[in-house]
Amino acid sequence: MLNYPLKFKPILKEKIWGGTKLITQFNKKSDLQNIGESWEISDVDESVSIVSNGVLKDTSLRELLENYKSDLIGKNNYANFGNNFPLLIKFIDAEKDLSVQVHPNDKLSKARHNSFGKTEMWYIMQAEETARLILGFKEKLTPNQYISLLKDKNIVPVLNEVYVKSGDAFFIETGTVHSIGSGVVLAEIQQTSDITYRIYDFDRVDDEGNERELHTELAIEALNLSDNVEAKREYTKEKNVLNEVVSCEYFKTNFIPLKGKTELDYSQIDSFIIFMCVEGSAEIKIFSATETIRLGETILIPSIAKKVTLFSKYCKLLEVTI
Which active-site residues does the annotation give?
198
Strand ranges (E), the chain: 11-19, 35-41, 43-44, 47-48, 87-94, 100-102, 120-127, 132-137, 159-163, 169-172, 178-180, 184-191, 197-200, 232-233, 243-247, 252-265, 273-286, 289-294, 298-301, 307-321
Residue of 80, 65, 146 lying closest to 322 (CA atoms): 80
8-state DSSP, 158 = G
Distance in angstroms (rounded) separating the CA atoms of residues 319 and 299: 10
Q: Are 309 and 301 in contact (CB under 8 A)?
A: no
8-state DSSP, 59 = -
Q: Cα 182 vs. chain centroid, distance in angstroms?
A: 17
Residue of 110, 226, 248 lying closest to 170 (CA atoms): 248
Residue of 115, 93, 96, 92 lying closest to 174 (CA atoms): 115
